[in-house]
Amino acid sequence: MTATTANPSAPTPAIDEETLMAFVHRAVADVGTVLGGSMIVLGDRLGLYRAMAGAGPLTAAELATRTGTVERYVREWLSAQAATGYISYEGDGRFALSDEHAVVLTDETSPACVIGAFETALASVHSTDRLADAFRTGEGVGWGEHHHDLFEGCERFFRPGYLANLVGTWLPALDGAHAQLTAGARVADVGCGLGASTILMAEAFPASTFTGFDAHEGSIVTARERAAAAGVVDHISFEARPAREIRGPFDLVCFFDCLHDMGDPVGSLAHIRAELSPTGSVMLVEPMAGDTIEENLNPVGAAYYGFSTLLCTPGSLSQDVGAALGAQAGEARLRDVATAAGFSSVRRVAETPFNMVLELKP
C-alpha cells in the first residue's frame, strides 16, 4: 500500500503565518515532551528526584555525589528539567525541586503522584514499530508482548489512587459490601496485575478471602511474592487465568482499570454475573471519560487516548471478539456493556480525576 500523494494541480492554500509559527512552537514543545518522558524516568530510576526532595538548591556536582552518578550527565539532565519547569534554576549553577513537584514525582503514597505514568508511557512507546504494522494489518498486540517495564509502571501509576480511595471510599460506597467484607466475604480481583489492589483489600479485611486473577503469568508470579512480603498469604491467592475461566461463587468481583482491555467485555461480565453469590455485586473501576469525544479533549483525555492507542485497543484486538472499547469508553458505553451482560442495575458510586467507579448488580 502506498501513501496518497497531493494533487500537484490543486491550488496552494493561503497560509496564516502566525497560525503556522504558533503550531511550529507547539510541535517543538511536544518534541521536548516526548524526550522529557525519558528524562523523568531517568530521574526516578537514578534517585535524582528523591535526592533533591527537601534538599533545597543543589549543584550538579552535589546531586551527583548524593546519587552516585556522574556530574556531567547530571548537569545536562538538570538543565533539561529546568527548561520544562519540572525543577527550577536558582542561579549560580544551583537547581531546586519544589515540595509540590516532589509529591508528584516521589511520594507514591499520594494520589497526586503520577511517576508511574511516565514509566508506563516510556514502556508503551517501545512498541511503536510493532504498532505501525498492526495499524496496517488490524492485528492486535497482547499485553505480555510489550516492554517489561510496562507491568511495574502500570502498577505504580494506579496504586496511589487505590491506596487513597479503595478501602476508605470506593468499597464503602457499594451497597452492603463493607459489612460483607468485615464479616467475611469471597472476593475476586479480575485483571489484578502485580496484586496491589488485591493486597490492599486483604490487609484491610482479614476475615475475607481474596483471589487475584490475571492472564499474564509473569504478573501473577510477582503478585504472589508481594503477597508473601505483605504477610497476607493466609487469605489471599493468585491464579493466571482470564475472566471467562474464573469459577465462583464470589460475593464481590472487582475489575480495576481492565474491562476495556478485554477482547470480549460483554462475555466476560456475563460469565462473572453467573459466578456471583445471590447477594453479590461487581465493582467496575474504569478510566474517567465523558461519553463524547468533545468531553475528552483535555489533558487527561490526551493521556488516556494515547495509552489506549498504544496499549488498550491493540490488547483487546489481540483477543477473541476484539471489542476494543478503548480506555475512553465513557459511562454510557460501559452501561450498555453491563446491561448486555445481564446486569439490571448500574450505578456510579464514586469518582476521581482519573477513575469512575460503577456498581453492577444482577
Please report, rounded to a whole number, the percentage of residues in the chain having pLDDT higher than 90: 93
3-state secondary structure the chain: CCCCCCCCCCCCCCCCHHHHHHHHHHHHHHHHHHHHHHHHHHHHHCCHHHHHCCCCCEEHHHHHHHHCCCHHHHHHHHHHHHHHCCCEEEECCEEECCHHHHHHHHCCCCCCCCHHHHHHHHHHHCCHHHHHHHHHHCCCCCHHHCCCHHHHHHHHHHHHHHHHHHHHHHHHHCCCHHHHHHHCCEEEEECCCCCHHHHHHHHHCCCCEEEEEECCHHHHHHHHHHHHHHCCCCCEEEEECCHHHCCCCEEEEEEECCHHHCCCHHHHHHHHHHCEEEEEEEEEEEECCCCCCHHHCCHHHHHHHHHHHHHHHHHHHCCCCCCCCCCCCCHHHHHHHHHHCCCCEEEEEEECCCEEEEEEEC
One domain, residues 204 and 256 = yes
Taking residues 273-283, report their average pLDDT: 96
One domain, residues 193 and 327 = yes
Which pLDDT score is estimated for 139?
A: 96
Q: Is residue 232 part of a domain?
A: yes
Strand 236-240 versus strand 88-91 pairing type: unpaired
One domain, residues 218 and 191 = yes
Residue 280 sits at φ, ψ, to 5 deg, of -80, 165
pLDDT at 1 over 50: no
Q: Is residue 334 part of a domain?
A: yes
Looking at residue 308, which CATH number applies to its domain? 3.40.50.150
One domain, residues 253 and 203 = yes
**Domains of the chain: total:** 2
Count of all residues that appear for the chain in the document: 362
Which of 79, 106, 133 terminates a domain? The answer is: 106
Taking residues 331-355, report their average pLDDT: 96
Q: Can you tell me the distance from the alpha carbon of 229 to that of 221, in angstroms, rounded to the nearest whole number?
A: 13
Q: Can you tell me the distance from the alpha carbon of 113 to that of 294, in angstroms, rounded to the nearest whole number?
A: 27
One domain, residues 347 and 227 = yes
Q: Which three cell numbers stand for residue 69?
A: 552518578
Contact yes or no for 101/87 (Cβ under 8 A)? yes
Q: Which three cell numbers stand for residue 48?
A: 535524582
One domain, residues 49 and 146 = no
Which pLDDT score is estimated for 36?
A: 87
Looking at residue 98, which CATH number applies to its domain? 1.10.10.10
Taking residues 169-184, report their average pLDDT: 97
One domain, residues 44 and 137 = no
Closest CA to 222 of 246, 250, 198: 198
pLDDT at 187 over 80: yes
The C-alpha angle with vertex 169 and arms to 167 and 173, in degrees rounded to 5, equals 110
Neighbours of 352 (CB within 10 A): 15
Q: Can you tell me the distance from the alpha carbon of 340 to that of 153, in angstroms, rounded to the nearest whole number?
A: 33
The partner residues of 96 in beta bridges, in order of sequence, read 88
Q: Is residue 5 part of a domain?
A: no
Which pLDDT score is estimated for 61?
A: 98
pLDDT at 6 over 60: no
Taking residues 203-223, report their average pLDDT: 97
Contact yes or no for 87/99 (Cβ under 8 A)? no
pLDDT at 33 over 90: no
Q: Which of 28-37, 62-71, 134-143, 186-195 has the lowest mean pLDDT?
A: 28-37
One domain, residues 174 and 290 = yes
One domain, residues 222 and 254 = yes
pLDDT at 4 over 70: no
One domain, residues 173 and 266 = yes
Q: Is residue 324 part of a domain?
A: yes
pLDDT tens by residue, 285-313: 999 999 999 999 999 999 999 999 999 99
Contact yes or no for 20/28 (Cβ under 8 A)? no
Amino acid at 196: A
Which of 106, 138, 167 terminates a domain? The answer is: 106
pLDDT tens by residue, 55-89: 999 999 999 999 999 999 999 999 999 999 999 99
pLDDT tens by residue, 224-271: 999 999 999 999 999 999 999 999 999 999 999 999 999 999 999 999
Q: Is residue 20 part of a domain?
A: no
One domain, residues 93 and 219 = no
Q: Can you tell me the distance from the alpha carbon of 216 to that of 268, in angstroms, rounded to the nearest whole number?
A: 16
In 271-281, which positions are buried (b, 16+ CB within 10 angstroms) versus exposed (e)?
Answer: bbbeebeeebb
Mean pLDDT, rounded, of the chain: 95
Contact yes or no for 160/111 (Cβ under 8 A)? yes
Q: Which three cell numbers stand for residue 344?
A: 439490571
Q: The domain containing residue 41 runs over which residues?
A: 25-106
Which of 72, 106, 140 terminates a domain? The answer is: 106
Q: Is residue 1 part of a domain?
A: no
Question: How would residue 5 be classed by pLDDT, with cut points 50, 70 and 90?
Answer: low
One domain, residues 78 and 147 = no
Q: Is residue 13 part of a domain?
A: no
Q: Can you tell me the distance from the alpha carbon of 97 to that of 81, in angstroms, rounded to the nearest whole number?
A: 10
pLDDT at 140 over 90: yes
Q: Can you tell me the distance from the alpha carbon of 218 to that of 155, in angstroms, rounded to the nearest whole number?
A: 13
Q: Is residue 35 part of a domain?
A: yes
